[in-house]
Structures are given as C-alpha cells and as structure tokens.
Amino acid sequence: MQRVSNWLLMATMGGAMTLAAMAFKTGAEQVMTQQGLTAQQYLQIKAADLDKAQLSYPDIAPLLEQHRANTQLRFSQLGQSVLGTPIWQIEIGSGPVKLLAWSQMHGDESTATASVMDLLQLLATAEGQQWLQGWQDKLTLRLIPMVNPDGAAAGSRFNSMGIDINRDAKALQTPEGRLLMQAARDFKPDFGLNLHDQNRFYAVGDSNKQATISLLAPAFNEAKQIDPVRQKAMQLIGEMRDLMARELPGYLAKYDDTFSWRSFGDTFAGMGISTVLIEAGGHPADDNRQVARQLITQLLVLSINSLSSGRYQQQPLSAYQAIPFNRDGGIKDLLIHNLNIEINGQRAKVDLAVDLDIEGAKQARLRDIGDLSIYGSYHQFDARGLSYQPPKAYVLTKPLQLTEQAYLALLRQGYSHFSGDERLLSIDTRLPVLLNPAGLPGDTPQRQRRATFLLANAQGVQLVLLNGQLLELSSGKLLNPLGT
Ligand SMILES: [Zn+2]
C-alpha cells in the first residue's frame, strides 16, 4: 500500500524528488518505527567515549554541547545540583502523548545516561531524523540525563548532602529531587521512564542467568493495586519483554514490587504517571554494562514507537506477570565446584562462592560454602579431584627479585603470599602478588575470609586462588581476571 501511495504522491509532485530517494526515506522511517533500533544500527549510532564504569558530568557535557546545534532538540536548564552543576532537560517532538525519562538520580548508576546520549546521537543521524518525522507530531519526549551530577562526580549513590534523592520524593529536601518533581508537575507526562542500575548479583527467577535488565511498573499503594495508570505501564513493559525475548532471551527480570512511599517512581505512579522502572544489570564479560546500555537505548526507541502508535494497548497483563522476579544473590562472581576439604578426619566435597568486591576495595572474599548448585556465576571452575590447601606465607628476610618464573616456583612449593618487610620484594611479574594480606582462611575455607588458598592433588599444587583470581600453574594463566 505504501509503495502505491508513493507513486501517486510522486505523480502529484511532478517528480520533484527522485523515486529512489523517496523510497529510501519512507523505508528508513518505517523500519525503525515498526522494528525499532536493531543491534546493527545501534553499533553505528552509539555515542563515542562512554564505555566506562562510571560517567560524570564532564563525560556528557561535550555531547550535550554538540547536540544543542540540533534544532529539533530543545534544551533548557532545569536548575543545578547542590554543588552547582547544571541539570538539563531536552524536549523533542510536540505530540499529545507525553513521555518523561530521567537517568542517574543515583550518582553511581550511570549506564542509562549513556543510553540517553545514544538516543541523542541517533537523532543526529539522517536515519534518526527520518524516524523522528514519523512520531514528532504524536509524542512529546522530555529527557533529563544525570539528575544527580554531584553523586556522579563522587561515584556515590547519594547527593552531596548525603541524601538518597530517590527517597526524597515526599520530603523534597534536595534541589535535585525538587527540580525532578517540578519537571513532572510542569509537564504532566502520561508516561515516565525511571532509569537506574542494579547490583550484579540478581538472577532471573530460579534460572542461573544474570538479570541484565529488570523492569517494574511500581505500585502506588501498599496493596499494589492495578489501576488504569499502572496497567498502561505494565502493557508498555509487555512490549519491552518482546524486545528482550528477541535481543537477549532469558536475561529479563522484574524488580521487587514492594511499595516504596518515599520513592519517585511510586510517587509518580500515584500522580497519574504510568511509570516504568528500568534497571541496568550485569552480564558476563561486561564490567562497563555496555550490554545493558545498548538494550536500554533500544528500549527507549521502542517506548517512543509503542507509545506514539498506541501499540502497547494490545499487550495483555499476563505478559507483564510472566516476567520472573529478580532473585537476590542468585548470581556469584566465582563458583568453585567440587573441592575436597577435610576437617578432623571428616572429608567433604563442597562448592565455594567468591565475591570479587569489584566495586569496592577489590578484596575478594569467600561468601558461601556447601551445595551451591542453585546459583549462577560470572566465572566457574570445576575443582573435581583437587583439595583445599591452606594459604602459607613466604617470609621475606632478604631482597627478592620476583620474576614470573620465580613466583610460579614459590607457588608450586605451596606459598600463596608474602609476609614481612615489603621493601625487600621487587615485583617483576604481571600476576597478582599478595603482600601481608589480612583475614586469610585457615585449615578449611571459611566464610567472610579472604579468597586466597591453594588447590592441590597428589602431584602437588595445581592452582592458586589469589584474591579471588584462579591462577593455573601449568600455564601461568589467570582463569578469571578480576571483573565480570
Ligand atoms: Zn538506583
């Protein structure tokens, strides 16, 4: 049908535009309107230099400055943070359906801020411009990237007063929370997208897969009733579920739906805004959450398409209800399976869970011991046939030049770390070396102790766990370098 009408239009216009160009324009617009942003298209439009674990205002300021040249993006400064960093709002389109999206109200949750920058980047391309023409008279979008720039600068969840902005929706004591509330009151959006990051240890229900994306239509009361406003949010999530099933099946969960009176999502839900919470989560070999970043960009495009066309209204609530809940602690950093231990003559075969403490001081610890077969993990190792051997210090009494070969030789002899005067040790290896570590386990693995010990069989030490990283002595290779 579309092709025929193009021909008719061409005839009317007297061939002012070439047929090929016309067909291309219509095609590009339709493809993205109907199918959304494909993974392949995403790689072409992705904003540069944002592949980082933590984004702060200087990361996005040059991009915002660059996009101000795009006349279809209407920038306004909503205000500033406690410490004086500007907080911007960008308005796009002018249609009757109103969508407000905001990111990084928790300063250390920056994944979706990159997605918002990706969306602006998309709108700067010819393809994105065509796409915009398809919805700009149906929907008005307002974006507020990085609501908490002070927290972002400090790598902290909180604002510079130490307040959790997402628990300030009622008290409104933070300038950042006040300006978000004011933005919502001024705009009166139909829909809200509340963009966050969640911890990397959530599993999708009973599965062993990471919750790379979690979604929620927050409750507006303790009874978690479903009114028409919440129902629309659930239907939009049904659309998002379809996208996730196409792009990354098995990695979508639902966030805890306990009513949170002080939070913005729940408060907005009670103000008549159909609000969707989107949480970026972990994924294997993805420390900077670029997988979640791409998915959220795709979810932003999908939301615009679905809300501007009304397509979401066809989603049954059962689609939302079928999404499994987050399982807290369902994922571990490292699982070591089937390790032999012995205490007081009693032998046992156990699994060990190791927390790498990636976002903290990177002091890896043993978190669990026993049958851990119900958990998933970023890294795993089957230690069948190997036994736990306690860590042992090599005492430094004279200068030691620690080459890789010398180090591997000491590890084979059963040493796991060094004690004594650190100045005596000259480290000439890229392998992790532990100097005077505290809190090591004893004759058997112990919870909360540091994750450092040896794994041996009758032929001797085969592997060493060095601060949560497994070093295979035969190859000299780390099996799980620190990270996801
Ligand atoms: Zn958050």
Lowest-pLDDT range of 14-23, 293-302, 351-360, 459-468: 14-23
> Taking the domains of the chain in order of start, what are their residue ranges?
1-35, 38-327, 331-478
pLDDT above 90 as % of the chain: 91
- Write the burial class of residue 10 (CB in 10 Å: 0-12 exposed, 13-18 middle, 19+ buried): middle
b/e sequence 61-71, b meaning 16+ C-beta within 10 Å: eebbeebeebe
314 in Cβ contact with 302 (< 8 Å): no
Task: Give residue-wise pLDDT tens across range 156-175.
Answer: 999 999 999 999 999 999 99
Given a cut of 50, is residue 9 above it in pLDDT? no
Crossing angle for the helix pair 111-123 and 126-135, to the nearest 10 degrees: 90
Q: Is 14 left (phi over 0), alpha (psi -120 to 50) or beta?
A: left
In the three-class reduction of DSSP (H, G, I as helix; E, B as strand; rest coil), residue 334 is classed as: strand
471 in Cβ contact with 479 (< 8 Å): yes
In sequence order, the β-bridge partners of residue 191 are: 99, 274
Cα separations in angstroms, 475 against 337, 427, 429, 452, 463: 21, 20, 14, 19, 10
Mean pLDDT of 404-414: 98
Give the residue carrying structure tokens 């010990």. Answer: 453
Q: Which helix (H) or strand (E) covers residue 341, if one does? A: strand 331-343
Kindly give the distance from the C-alpha atom of residue 154 to the centroid of ligand 1, in angstroms, as a whole number.
15
Average pLDDT of the chain? Answer: 94
Q: How confident is the model at residue 14 (pLDDT cuts 50, 70, 90)?
A: very low
Kindly give the distance from the C-alpha atom of residue 97 to the centroid of ligand 1, in angstroms, as a whole number.
26
Look at residue 31 in the predicted model and tell me its pLDDT.
78
Kindly give the distance from the C-alpha atom of residue 197 to the centroid of ligand 1, in angstroms, as a whole number.
5
Kindly give the distance from the C-alpha atom of residue 479 to the centroid of ligand 1, in angstroms, as a whole number.
32
Give the residue carrying structure tokens 């869970």. Answer: 353
Q: How confident is the model at residue 482 (pLDDT cuts 50, 70, 90)?
A: confident
Q: Which of 333, 368, 365, 352 is nearest to 450 (CA)?
A: 365
String of DSSP letters for 256-299: -----TTSHHHHHHHTT-EEEEEEE---TT-TT-HHHHHHHHHH
Kindly give the distance from the C-alpha atom of residue 106 to the centroid of ligand 1, in angstroms, as a whole number.
5
Give the residue carrying structure tokens 């796409």. Answer: 131
**CA angle, 414 as apex, 408 and 418 as ends, to 5°?**
75
Kindly give the distance from the C-alpha atom of residue 179 to the centroid of ligand 1, in angstroms, as a whole number.
17
Task: Give residue-wise pLDDT tens across range 209-218.
Answer: 999 999 999 9
DSSP state of 390: -
Q: Which residues fall within 8 angstroms of residue 354, CB to CB, at 6 or more apart?
A: 332, 333, 334, 335, 336, 364, 365, 366, 367, 451, 465, 468
> Residue 3 is encoded by which pair of tokens?
């092709």
Kindly give the distance from the C-alpha atom of residue 34 to the centroid of ligand 1, in angstroms, as a whole number.
31
Q: Which helix (H) or strand (E) covers residue 317, if one does? A: helix 317-321
Cα separations in angstroms, 435 against 342, 394, 476: 27, 10, 19
Tell which wins on pLDDT, 128 or 7. 128
Helix (H) and strand (E) counts for the chain? 13, 23
In sequence order, the β-bridge partners of residue 195 are: 103, 278
What is the C-alpha separation between 449 and 427, in angstroms, rounded? 25
**CA angle, 185 as apex, 189 and 58 as ends, to 5°?**
85
Task: Give residue-wise pLDDT tens across range 37-77.
Answer: 999 999 999 999 999 999 999 999 999 999 999 999 999 99
What is the C-alpha separation between 296 and 309, in angstroms, rounded? 20
Task: Give residue-wise pLDDT tens across range 89-106.
Answer: 999 999 999 999 999 999
Kindly give the distance from the C-alpha atom of residue 395 to the centroid of ligand 1, in angstroms, as a whole number.
46
Q: Which residues fall within 8 angstroms of residue 376, CB to CB, at 6 or more apart?
A: 203, 207, 208, 209, 210, 330, 331, 332
Kindly give the distance from the C-alpha atom of residue 103 to the centroid of ligand 1, in angstroms, as a whole number.
9
Look at residue 10 in the predicted model and tell me its pLDDT.
38
Domain 331-478 has CATH 2.30.40.10: yes
Kindly give the distance from the C-alpha atom of residue 256 to the centroid of ligand 1, in angstroms, as a whole number.
13
179 in Cβ contact with 168 (< 8 Å): no
Kindly give the distance from the C-alpha atom of residue 194 to the centroid of ligand 1, in angstroms, as a whole number.
9
In sequence order, the β-bridge partners of residue 97 are: 139
Task: Give residue-wise pLDDT tens across range 170-218.
Answer: 999 999 999 999 999 999 999 999 999 999 999 999 999 999 999 999 9
Given a cut of 50, is residue 237 above it in pLDDT? yes
Kindly give the distance from the C-alpha atom of residue 387 to the centroid of ligand 1, in angstroms, as a whole number.
41
Mean pLDDT of 408-421: 98
Cα separations in angstroms, 120 against 47, 271, 323, 340: 9, 28, 30, 54
User: How many CB atoms neighbour CB 460 within 10 A?
Assistant: 12
Radius of gyration of the chain (CA): 27
Mean pLDDT of 465-484: 94
String of DSSP letters for 419-476: EE-GGGEEEE-SS---BS--S---SS--TTSBS-EEEEETTEEEEEEETTEEEETTTT
Kindly give the distance from the C-alpha atom of residue 409 to the centroid of ligand 1, in angstroms, as a whole number.
47
What is the C-alpha separation between 36 and 116, in angstroms, rounded? 16
**Longest Cα–Cα distance in the chain:** 94
Kindly give the distance from the C-alpha atom of residue 275 to the centroid of ligand 1, in angstroms, as a whole number.
15
Give the architecture-level CATH label for domain 38-327. Answer: 3-Layer(aba) Sandwich (3.40)
Kindly give the distance from the C-alpha atom of residue 300 to the centroid of ligand 1, in angstroms, as a whole number.
18
Q: How confident is the model at residue 346 (pLDDT cuts 50, 70, 90)?
A: very high
Q: What is the ipTM of this complex?
A: 0.99
Lowest-pLDDT range of 6-20, 214-228, 329-343: 6-20
Q: What is the dihedral of CA 218, 224, 228, 229, to 10 degrees?
A: -20
